[in-house]
Amino acid sequence: MIDAIEQQTSRLKMLLIGLGFALTPPVQLQKNKIKQINLEFQDIARMLCGTCTNNLFDNVRHVAGAITAEYCAVLSLQDVLVQTQHMNRYILCYVQ
């Protein structure tokens, strides 16, 4: 599951870069995958929301709210995966 979250997060970041957001490309800076995923979401949250936290679940919730304009509860890694997939589908529908 963590590998899937990491892949979906990288895909999300690349889609946002493709839309013109000034984000850094996904780069492996941490050996711990969850910390790396959180770094990516912190970068996205900082760009979209103007703020970020140290908590992965909060960052995903803020980013999902900014992208989809819908509230979501993110309480587990399963929720992170579901929301990341949802954001990717949402952006893909937007650009098509």
Provide the pLDDT for residue 94: 86
Question: Structurally, how many domains does the chain consist of?
Answer: 1
Local structure of 88: helix, strand or coil: helix
Residue 12 located in a structural domain: yes
Residue 66 located in a structural domain: yes
Cβ neighbours of 23 (radius 10 Å): 18
- pLDDT for 3-38, tens place per residue? 999 999 999 999 999 999 999 998 888 899 999 999
Instruction: Give the pLDDT band of residue 72 (cuts 50, 70, 90).
Output: very high
* pTM, rounded to two decimals: 0.93
Residue 39 located in a structural domain: yes
Provide the pLDDT for residue 29: 85
DSSP string for residues in 28-88: ---SSHHHHHHHHHHHHHHHHHS---S-HHHHHHHHHHHHHS------SHHHHHHHHHHHH
Segments forming the whole domain that contains residue 45: 2-19+31-95
Residue 25 located in a structural domain: no
Mean pLDDT of 31-60: 96
Residue 26 located in a structural domain: no
Residue 24 located in a structural domain: no
Report DSSP state, residue 26: P
Residue 68 located in a structural domain: yes
Residue 59 located in a structural domain: yes
